[in-house]
Amino acid sequence: MSDRVEFAVMNGLGNKILVVDMRGRTDRVTPAAAIALAADPATAFDQIMAIHDPKLDGTDAYIDILNCDGSRAQACGNGTRCVVQALASETGRKSFTFQTIAGILNAVEHQDGTISVDMGKPAFAWDKIPLSEEFHDTSRIELQIGPIDAPILHSPSAMSMGNPHAVFWVDRDPMTYDLERFGPLLENHPIFPEKANITLAQVTSKTTMVTRTWERGAGLTLACGSAACAAGVSAARTGRTERKVTITVASSPNRGTLTIDWRADDKVVMTGPAEWEWSGTVYPATGHWQRDASTEAEAATQ
């Protein structure tokens, strides 16, 4: 078994995803390797999506997801789209079924190159999110930042999309809030025993929203697919929007968009783009990497 494996640097609406091919191996990308890759400006990432051989009949692969702090994540919608794009390019297939620690994900690449991922069903019960104390109604929990009589952020909707989310409703562009300062406080608030993804969401119509996210284990991110799902579902759940919305991700390049459809069968389908940037090889134990010769010329122009 070779020490090095192939990997691709990709993005889903701008956030950097490393897709690592671990098929045919029994080892895993280590937390130390993830931290080393995150510290290198060339490979700094939001999530690693490590593709392993399937563990269940009827699935195409097991996906191991790592954050840039070395912790493991349950779900990553943008990263899943990148995996689909990579495997579709390799195999010519258009539909895939993946297993993650959060469950089974089905995905399909469309004719126009966009990719839809069935992110599963949302969970709203306080102990399923989870929260550290009981709330009968998690569509509005008691949590705020700022003065008691004039909070800057307050009363978020909490839910799980396989990972915990808190969606704060704001009345202006989310980019105008100091999320870099508030994000770490809210992610690590005691009410979230497993930490949480923190999203600011501005509803602009019954079918459109604008979001920005501080991602658990990753920090400020250009885009977060599961957070977009959480925002879309929470908006519909609280009567702010319809069940299918177009979300403008304010922090992504050119303010890219995702379509979130909370279907009648309770499943949440996210549709959006994925893009390959460059490829190389990496040692999954240490994170030491090398760019493919075929992309060296491209790298020189970046």
Q: pLDDT of 249-296, one tens digit each? A: 999 988 999 999 999 999 999 999 999 999 999 999 999 999 997 665
C-alpha 201/C-alpha 203 separation (Å) is: 6
Q: What is the pLDDT of residue 302?
A: 45
Neighbours of 85 (CB within 10 A): 24
The answer to whether residue 37 scores a pLDDT higher than 50 is yes
Same domain, 13 and 80: yes
Q: What is the pLDDT of residue 225?
A: 92
Q: What is the pLDDT of residue 294?
A: 67
Same domain, 215 and 153: yes
Number of domain units in the chain: 2
**Domain range holding 218?**
144-266
Same domain, 242 and 151: yes
Same domain, 148 and 259: yes
3-state secondary structure of 296: helix
Same domain, 222 and 202: yes
Q: What is the pLDDT of residue 231?
A: 98
Whether residue 228 is contained in a domain is answered as: yes
Same domain, 198 and 239: yes
Q: Give one word for 120, left, alpha or beta, with left for phi > 0 and alpha for psi -120 to 50.
A: left
Q: Give the contacts of 38 (CB within 8 A, at least 6 positions apart).
A: 44, 45, 68, 69
Residue scoring higher pLDDT (140 or 12)? 140
Same domain, 178 and 285: no
Sole residue written with tokens 């992110």: 119
Q: What is the pLDDT of residue 299?
A: 45
Residue type, 228: A
Whether residue 166 is contained in a domain is answered as: yes
Same domain, 11 and 104: yes
Q: Residue 164, Cα to own-chain centre: how many angstroms? A: 12
With contact defined as beta carbons under 8 Å apart, do 285 and 273 qualify?
A: no
The answer to whether residue 1 scores a pLDDT higher than 80 is no
Mean pLDDT of the chain: 94
Q: What is the pLDDT of residue 15?
A: 87
Overall average pLDDT of the 62-87 stretch = 93
Lowest mean pLDDT among 38-47, 67-76, 88-97, 255-264: 67-76
Same domain, 262 and 279: no
3-state secondary structure of 251: coil
Which residues are identified as catalytic? 76, 224
pLDDT, tens digit, for every residue of 195-228? 999 999 999 999 999 999 999 988 999 999 999 9
Overall average pLDDT of the 139-165 stretch = 95
Same domain, 32 and 82: yes
Q: What values do phi and psi take at 281, rounded to 5?
A: -125, 155
Whether residue 136 is contained in a domain is answered as: no
Pair of tokens at residue 126: 């306080």
CATH number at residue 217: 3.10.310.10
Pair of tokens at residue 210: 């604008």
Sole residue written with tokens 């990719």: 115
Same domain, 90 and 36: yes
Q: What is the pLDDT of residue 300?
A: 44
What pTM value is reported for the model? Answer: 0.90
C-alpha 32/C-alpha 285 separation (Å) is: 7
**Per-residue confidence at 236, pLDDT binned at 50, 70, 90?**
very high
